[in-house]
Amino acid sequence: MNKPNNKILVINTGGTITMAAKASGELQAGKGEVLIELIKNLTTDLCSTIEVKPLTGADGAVIGTSDSSEIGPKHWDAMASMIISHNDDYDGFVVLHGTDTMSYTASALSFCLAQNTKPVVVTGAQVPLSKPGSDGLQNLRLALYVADQSGKSLPALSEVMICFAGQLLRGNRSRKSSTRSAVGFSTPNAQILGELFPVPTIFKEQLRALPNAYPPLNNSSLGYSDKVLSMNLNPGFTGELLLKIIKGSDIEGLVLRVFGSGTAPDDFNLAQVVEQAKNETNDRFKCAVIVTDVYNGSLDIHRYAAGKNLRSPFIIDGRDMTPEAASTKLMWVLGSDDRKQQLVKLLGSAVCHEMSAK
């Protein structure tokens, strides 16, 4: 057996993978007792020492495990803070997470960890480890394999990734695609990074080169605004109603899923709404980001005349970003005064391969 020479930190945020059934039969977040025992056994398969820690805040207080519906900005800050503060102590990181908001978390982490040079692998399960037929064991085993950089069997990975059902996906390109299938995630607008089963294969041409134009890996990259509204444009929804919603709240930014390749009805003039909202809120409201409401595809707001009301300096073309990436990116940009000063630049260009070039 190889002597462990690298260290992996597993951050347990909860989710289905660690859940146990209540007396009523409902699943609830557990502390991961089964997980700890499994990881002890998995250590012998790897060249790394594995440590499991609960999610903790910057003050050291344990946040504990949660259903993924509870995960939000404070949890993303806590996860990123743990990875940043322990970056010199570990060679790779695995985040255990529920599937419902996993793509949001993987996207959020990718922005604040854009300068990270170590693998961050997010994984979970559709069926708890405590139940027969769980997909959690394979997902966990493969996530640890990816995070283990000591064996040199894989190329160096500096991504925030999702490992699920034998596939390795770029986190900020991922979407949950099924509530039932073991293949629960996909990247509709990007190639996957690798196939891990039955023979591990990484598609090197898909891996990112580490950027150098953004803040270094430290706590200055943390912070997310919770004042972002993400919604669909529905037939019959008016600009007047949207303006009332913005003015009657403390919303700073909007992510709007528009029709197809970028169209909206004549009576929904988003450009006018956004500019009026900025003026009438004394610039508290900053901008809107638009993405397509179609699962696979990209915006082209100049293709149809019906896209004319979506064109404004204060409306950012999200191109082929997922709604999850667009929402968390806007939350991240609005999460610090320094980033707000670069709002148009950061939102209009890729920070870490979350959207394709124009």
Query: Which CATH number covers residue 170?
Result: 3.40.50.1170
Q: pTM for this one? A: 0.94
In the listed set 218, 243, 270, which residue is the last one of a domain according to the structure?
Answer: 218
Per-residue pLDDT, 354: 97
Residue 181 counted as domain residue: yes
**Tokens in use for 8?**
């992996």
Residues 201 and 299 in one domain: no
What does the pLDDT read at residue 287?
98
Find residue 167's DSSP bridge partners.
164, 195
48 and 159 part of one domain: yes
Give yes or no: residues 129 and 230 share one domain.
no
Q: Which of 187, 218, 249 is the last residue of a domain?
A: 218
In which order are the strands placed within the sheet that holds 6-12? Answer: 48-54, 6-12, 92-96, 120-123, 160-164, 167-170, 194-195, 201-202
210 and 254 in one domain?
Answer: no
Confidence at residue 48, expressed as pLDDT on a 0 to 100 scale:
80
- What pLDDT is recorded for position 1? 44
133 and 234 belong to one structural domain: no
Other beta carbons within 10 angstroms of residue 292's beta carbon come to 24
Residues of the chain with pLDDT under 50: 1
197 domain residue, yes or no: yes
Cis peptide preceding 132, ω within 30 of 0: no
79 in a structural domain: yes
Residues 12 and 153 in one domain: yes
Q: Return all residues near 345 (Cβ < 8 A) that are at least 6 apart.
A: none
pLDDT tens for 59-111 read 888 898 888 999 999 999 999 999 999 999 999 999 999 999 999 999 999 99
Establish if 356 belongs to a structural domain. no
Cβ–Cβ < 8 Å for 321, 218: no
- Residue type for position 231: M
Which residue, among 109, 134, 145, has the nearest Cα to 15 in the 3D structure? Answer: 134
Q: Is 298 part of any domain?
A: yes
> Does 174 share its domain with 258?
no
Domain count, the chain: 2
Q: Which domain holds residue 273?
A: 225-348
Claim to verify: residue 272 and residue 208 sit in the same structural domain = no
Is residue 213 domain-shared with residue 323, that is, in the same domain?
no
* 204-235 exposure pattern, b = at least 16 Cβ within 10 A, e = fewer: eebbeeeeeebeebeeebbbbbebbbbeebee
Percent of the chain with pLDDT over 90: 73
- d(CA 96, CA 122) in angstroms, rounded, equals 6
213 shares its domain with 263: no
- The residue out of 186, 218, 250 marking a domain boundary is 218
